[in-house]
Structure 1
Amino acid sequence: MKEHQIVRKNLIDMLEELDDKLSRISDDVKHVDNPPEQDFSESAVENENNEVIDALGIAARNEVEKIKQAIHRIDASTYGKCLICGQPIKQERLAALPYANYCITCAEQEERK
């Protein structure tokens, strides 16, 4: 739909930002800029940092997938409809979370599961 083309462009911009973020995360985990620490205590801290970075990477990849799904829904003219109940997702929710799959009622029910 034509009215969703701005949202589509914004989602693509978000994808590009996340791709850059994932690239930096990947470089950090692979120690592209600095070799891994040899000292045991430094290595332990580095391992903790790697776990946090890995979690950030997982979250970013999940967000990428949600954004791609939203773009697909725009292209299929199903964007803005709840995937569970089929009712329209409120514009305020889509403004805050443009890749929302569910209306707030269904999202709350999904969280409780």
Structure 2
Amino acid sequence: MTTIAARKAQLEARLDDLRGRLRSIEAELQGHDTADWEDRATESEEDEVLEGMGVSGAQEIRKILAALERIEAGEYGYCTKCGAEIAPERLDVLPFTPFCRNCAV
């Protein structure tokens, strides 16, 4: 069984990882200086993928920050909708989830 302290450390490590990735994505998006139109077209396509990854990462960061707030408030591991305890197996897969299995559907 994973303790709250272990979950918090897991979430904080993931948060650090995501923030580093977002910094890398931002640097990559700002680093284009090519004058060739074919290269620009390729870079544009790559930028769309990077932007999608950035949006996804930012969403996960918000979820992690919310989970860390629930930990601090002593509400982590309980569904924010119905108040039921969230199964540890669910938290193993989605440590930032605010919902039990029943409320997530």
TM-score after normalising by structure 1: 0.86
Distance 1:50 1:95 in 2: 32
Give the Å deviation of 1:9: 1.2
Residues matched between the structures, number? 103
Q: CA deviation at 1:64?
A: 0.7
Runs of 4+ residues over 2 Å off in structure 1: none
Match of 1:49 in 2: 46
Q: 1:9-33 CA deviation, whole Å, 9 max, x = no partner?
A: 11111111111111100100011xx
- AA in 2 matched with 1:21: R
**Match 1:62 to one of 35, 59, 62:** 59
Identity of aligned residues (%): 32
Structure 2 segments unaligned to the other structure (5+ residues):
none
Q: Which runs of 5+ in 1 are unaligned?
A: 109-113
Which of 33, 37, 45 lines up with 1:36 in the alignment?
33
1:87 corresponding residue in structure 2: 84
Q: 2: distance between equivalents of 1:70 and 1:105?
A: 19
In the alignment, the residues of structure 2 paired with residue 46 and residue 4 of structure 1 have an alpha-carbon distance, to the nearest angstrom, of: 43
CA-atom RMSD in angstroms: 1.0
Cα deviation code 1:19-71 (max 9, x no counterpart): 1111100100011xxx4321112211111110110110011111111111101
User: Hey, what's the Cα distance between the residues in 1 that align with 2:27 and 2:59?
Assistant: 19
**Which segment drifts farther, 35-44 or 58-67?**
35-44
Q: Distance in 2 between matches of 1:38 and 1:106?
A: 52
